Amino acid sequence: MSSTALGESDKDKTRSVSVDLNNDASLLIDIPDALCERDKVKFTVHTKTTLSSFQKPDFSVPRQHEDFIWLHDTLVETEDYAGLIIPPAPPKPDFESPREKMHKLGEGEATMTKEEYSKMKQELEAEYLAVFKKTVQVHEVFLQRLSSHPILSKDRNFQIFLEYDQDLTVRRKNAKEMFGGFFKNMVKTADEVIISGIKEVDDFFEQEKTFLLDYYSKIKDSTLKAEKMTRSHKNVADDYIHISATLNSLSADDSTAVKKHMEKLADLFEKLRKVEGRVASDQELKLTELLRYYMRDIQAAKDLLYRRARALADYENSNKALDKARLKSRDIPQAEEQQQQCLQKFDKLSESGKKELTSFKGRRVVAFRKNLIEMAELEIKHAKNNVTLLQGCIDLMKTH
Amino acid sequence: MATGGSERSSPPPFPDSEDQDPAEECQGVGADVSDEEDGDESFLSATGPSMNTMDSALPLSSEPSEVLFEPPVDLLQEPILKTEPEQAEAVTDPLDEFVDLVDLSDDMPSAQAVAAESPVVEVEALISGTPSDEPCEDFVDLSGSDSDLSEEEAALVEVPADSAGFSADPQDAIAAIPPGDLATGSAVEEEPSPLIEVDISQSSASGEKQHPQPPSDDLLFDPLADLADAVLPPAAIVKKPTQQQQPPPLDLFEDDPSDLFGEARHAKSAKQLPSSLFGEVDEDIFGEPLGTTAKKAVNVASREQRESVVVTKTSVLRARGNVDGPLNNNYEKEPTDIFSEEAVTIAPSAAKAPAAATSSRTNGVRAAEEGDIFAEATVELSLDSPRTDRKKNATAPKPSTSGPTLSSAADLSKTHSASLEELEEEEQEDNFDVNISVTNPEKIGDGMNAYMAYKVSTQTSLAMFRNKTFTVRRRFSDFLGLYEKLTDKHAPAGFIVPPPPEKSILGMTKVKVGKEDSSSAEFVERRRAALERYLQRVVCHPSLLQDPDVREFLEREELPRAVSTQALSGAGFLKMLNKATDAVSKMTIKMNESDVWFEEKLQEAEAADQQFRKLHGLVESLVVHRKELSLNTASFSKSVAMLGSSEDNTALSRALSQLAEVEDKMEQLHQEQASCDSFCFAELIADYIRLLGSVRGSFDHRMKAWQRWQDAQTTLQKKRESEAKLLWANKPDKLQQAKDEIAEWEAKVTQYEGDFDKVSATVRKEVIRFEKEKVKNFKRQIISYLEAQLLAQQQLIKYWDAFLPEAKAIA
């Protein structure tokens, strides 16, 4: 697909998904521009800072999606951040669906009028652009989450990511690593099952765990449903295009007074389709994206819980090891040290985890509030638009 | 009296020389009449003026009359003689009434008296104009002998007789139609004095309409026209302005009244006569047959013609019902019997009037039976009658007070006018007062023999129905059966018969299997609505409403089972076969279209058909998508409700469950919109796809008529060639046969050409009607569809508005 440049027009939208960012002026990051070349999207990451750790106060670097993933992975793997909710990595840019649709449209060109085709194409381009913007947005939000985090914003890798003005040329994962990642995931899942048997010592985490597990499955379901809903809404809007076009050609053939009505109706459907399309895309943006983002965020929180549970299990194991050592009267100090380390780690994780989860809860509520209000307002606005259009058309038809 | 007329054969042309005598005679008669009248005091004052008018009129008429009356000589004589006694009897009753009328109208005695007299005189003039003196004398005698009878009556009697005589001219019943026109014309006008003019108008009309007329008629008409010119110089002058006032006429009859009135205006003395004449006589005549119900309507209507159309609609329909309705059996289809029968069945007071009226009706009957050209004629005829009416009322406002009979008379003419107007100017809403609803679909029987029965309720004020409201149960195949019957009868003539919804084996099987799911319920509802619209379209069609099968369908308790509608029956197979052959023949017929209009319309219909099909598919997919959306919204709503229950923040949890509720309502809205898309929009389009099929069918029938005509022409050509060959070969024995054949085929060519013209005219009219209906219907449906959408959007605003504070309340 040809490259598409993204202007700065949608800057105001960029923060719509996750709001709970400390408006810390010391480190401001945005992605003012992005370029799509074939499968790769090149983002321009722009940073404005007052921090002394950066060499310049204002700079931009080119970054690709893989760089973001690399950043995320390094953060996750950093032991020190185990007690933090690492912001979820942005999803891979996916232009498949608009591309596929474009392909289909090309095949069906013969069955459509020129006008209809151009409208459909326009619509698809708009959809493509929306996907593109969304992609940019999620990448931006990822960086913003990092920059607004008191600890993560100090991360060295993060700073390199922002500052290094060459291509990071992150090495792509090779097959072994890919498999390794997969294997790790398997182990993790199995491990989760195993350690779930361990008795929780802290009620807060116990509750949090059940809540998050439950919530995750629910929100995943809701996300799926919301996606479907918005998609079918879009279909309805697309149908309007065809109907409008057909009405137009009908009116062109007609010689009676119906002609006028048909024209009006075609016009109306064309306008309705725009509104309806906007309803669909706004739903997508305000609702589906919200749900999707928090689905991933909860996954991140769950990861935190896992890490803590792992630490707890380690601590339990170290306790056992200590008992064993004492029984055998061998390697006691090592075991004690190990046990102490585990306890420390666990305590630290618990402490920061508690803080993180609490702030996560607040962040989630605020984000939901904001998005739901915005969505309701948009729905009302669009419906009012529709009412005006319909009323206008009815009046027109009645008077003629 | 009609009986006599019918027996006669067409008259031989008459020598010109004879006319002068009759004219003189006529004067004499006029004098006689006046003398006799003297005795009657009430008439006295009137007599003077009337006489004057008569005198002036008579000499004028005398000259041309020779030419005029050549043909009917024998006719007139005989029938009058024969019918004398009948007339006398018939007249007696009305006489009383008439007298009453006269009494009533003391205010304007002169007018009435004159009215009464003038007809007589002129009638006599007419009669006398005929070469043979006998009829006149007879007439005189008749009037004289009956001391009770005033001459007016006699005159009145005479007029119809005249008309009857005219009508009887042509030999065959079929051929009799043009004369029927004559009769109707005279009947409608009713006044003897205008008779001449009527004739004239007819002649001119015949020219305009291009009705095929027997040669004898031509003879008649031309002279008549001459006569008219000669007789009515002032009238002619007046004519022009009046014509301008009136819509450009196909209608011969329009002219007549105007002439009359014009005359009246010019000649002071004569003026009152015709008007009063019209007012009284006319109405009188018509009065009884219609019955008294319509009186009020008439009065109202008489003042404003437009209104009258609406008000008297019922009466119109009734009149029409009389024409060809099976319910009214009193009217025999045989022209001969009509007159006599009429007289019997209709109230005695109106004895002649009915006759006249009948003639007009008969005309209608025949037209209905035989061909549509004449139907048109009737239509036109009726068209102007309202105008005459209006004029009457304008000139003589009083008559309305004079008696109940008159109003009803006006009624009749109005009915005609109304019917006419409906046919011709559809701008006026043709609100046939028939309201049909199809309700209560009900499954009857079990298994594959199950079928759906529907309740068909009719609400009407039309007199052609026995009750105001009635209900029958019909099964789907009955609806199809009705359509079959209607298409068989009307489609070949070029009518667009509204089609019912198609058989749907799949949908019906579902219903039969008995799954009470939403799709089969929807199917039933959709079909119910379609059947309702179908019936409404049928009864809204002015010609189809008249069909006995339609009425039977609506009224009769038990209907014979329609068998030919079964898809898998032998009839169904035959139908398919026919369709296939039709399709083939359609492809082979290459019609070089002479009329661009038809070509354009056909192309338009075909293009529209294609586009409508496409649109239908699109709307159907819209419905599918909307249903999907509804489903998805429902599942999202459930999911959000679950999410809300899991949420540990109370406010957010509340908001989420509220959101779930909103989405739930959204689902309802989408559902409603989907069914609205389906029922209002998709069904509208489906209807039009079906209707366009019928439109194209009517074009096909026109093409077939054309083909037949062309074939006949080719055959004729061949016959002519073979005749030429025979001539060449000098075979006189076969020559005669060849000549006969040529004559036969010439007749056929003429007939087929006429058929083709008829069908073309009908198709044109029907297409125009279809388009008008389409505009109206489309607009109405679309508006209601949009309104439903509007409502949905308003609901949507309401729901989200209610949700907004909940979202804001999240802390």
Q: Which residues of B touch A372 (CB under 8 A)?
A: 655, 659, 807, 810
Judge whether A198 and A312 are in contact, CB under 8 Å.
yes
Does any CB of chain B come closer than 8 Å to the CB of residue A219? yes
Residue carrying structure tokens 């989450």: A145
Residue carrying structure tokens 């079928």: B451
Residues 6+ apart with CB under 8 A from B720: B742
Q: Within 10 Å of residue B558's Cβ, how many Cβ atoms?
A: 7
> Among A236, A247, A391, whose Cβ lies nearest the Cβ of B622?
A236
pLDDT for position B465: 77
Q: What is the DSSP letter of B474?
A: E
β-sheet bridge partners, residue B454? B474
β-sheet bridge partners, residue B471? B457
A214 to A286, B377, B643, B659: CA distances (angstroms): 23, 84, 9, 19
Judge whether A27 and A151 are in contact, CB under 8 Å.
no
Q: Which residues of A touch B793 (CB under 8 A)?
A: 383, 386-387, 390
Mean pLDDT of chain A: 82
pLDDT for position B148: 42
The whole-angstrom distance between A243's CA and the closest CA on chain B is 6
Rounded to whole angstroms, the Cα distance separating A393 from B783 reads 9
pLDDT for position A174: 61
Judge whether B281 and B116 are in contact, CB under 8 Å.
yes
Number of A/B CB contacts below 8 angstroms equals: 156
Rounded to whole angstroms, the Cα distance separating B189 from B303 reads 18
Q: Cα-flanking dihedrals φ and ψ of residue A325, to 5°?
A: -65, -40
Structure tokens at B592: 């070089």
Q: Which amino acid is at B215?
A: P
Cβ–Cβ gap B629/A233 under 8 Å: yes
Cβ–Cβ gap A386/B612 under 8 Å: no
Segment holding A198, helix H or strand E: none
Rounded to whole angstroms, the Cα distance separating B40 from A259 reads 68
Helix, strand or coil, per DSSP, at residue A34: strand
Rounded to whole angstroms, the Cα distance separating A88 from A86 reads 6
Q: Which of the two residues, A221 and B287, has the higher pLDDT score?
A: A221
The whole-angstrom distance between B204's CA and the closest CA on chain A is 34
pLDDT for position B800: 93
Structure tokens at B335: 């022209």
Q: Which amino acid is at A302?
A: K
For the stretch A25-75, pLDDT in tens is 678 888 888 887 777 788 888 888 888 888 888 888 888 888 888 889 888
Segment holding B125, helix H or strand E: helix B109-129
Q: Which of B620, B632, B671 to mutate to test the interface with A (most CBs of A within 10 A)?
A: B632
The whole-angstrom distance between A188's CA and the closest CA on chain B is 25
The whole-angstrom distance between B693's CA and the closest CA on chain A is 16
Structure tokens at A143: 């960086």
A56 to A46, A47, A64, A157: CA distances (angstroms): 12, 9, 22, 17
pLDDT for position B773: 86
Rounded to whole angstroms, the Cα distance separating A366 from B652 reads 9
Cβ–Cβ gap B614/A246 under 8 Å: yes
Judge whether B443 and B476 are in contact, CB under 8 Å.
no
Q: Which of the two residues, A370 and B352, has the higher pLDDT score?
A: A370
Rounded to whole angstroms, the Cα distance separating B704 from B494 reads 10
Among A198-207, A389-398, B699-708, the range scoring the smallest mean pLDDT is A198-207
Rounded to whole angstroms, the Cα distance separating B711 from B707 reads 6
> Model confidence at A208, in pLDDT bands (50, 70, 90)?
confident
Q: Cα-flanking dihedrals φ and ψ of residue A174, to 5°?
A: -85, 175
pLDDT for position A121: 85
| Among candidate residues A252, A265, A263, the one with its CA nearest the CA of residue B610 | A252
Q: How many Å separate Cα B568 from the centre of its chain? A: 38
Q: Which residues of A touch B691 (CB under 8 A)?
A: none
Judge whether B602 and B696 are in contact, CB under 8 Å.
yes
Please report how the helices B313-324 and B283-290 are oriented relative to each other, as an axis angle in degrees rounded to 10. 80
Q: Which residues of B touch A226 (CB under 8 A)?
A: 636, 639
> Among A236, A373, A394, whose Cβ lies nearest the Cβ of B625?
A236
For the stretch B224-272, pLDDT in tens is 444 444 444 443 333 443 334 444 433 333 344 444 443 434 434 333 4
Residues 6+ apart with CB under 8 A from B598: B699, B702, B760, B763, B764
Helix, strand or coil, per DSSP, at residue B705: helix
The whole-angstrom distance between B706's CA and the closest CA on chain A is 26
For the stretch B381-398, pLDDT in tens is 333 334 434 444 433 333
Cβ–Cβ gap B800/A268 under 8 Å: no
Over chain B (811 residues), what is each successive 10-residue block's mean pLDDT? 39 41 41 41 39 40 41 41 41 42 41 40 40 40 40 40 40 37 38 38 40 40 41 40 40 40 40 39 40 40 40 38 38 38 38 38 38 37 39 39 39 41 42 78 77 85 78 85 86 84 74 68 85 87 83 77 56 68 67 76 85 90 92 93 89 91 92 89 89 87 87 89 85 81 89 89 88 86 90 92 90 71
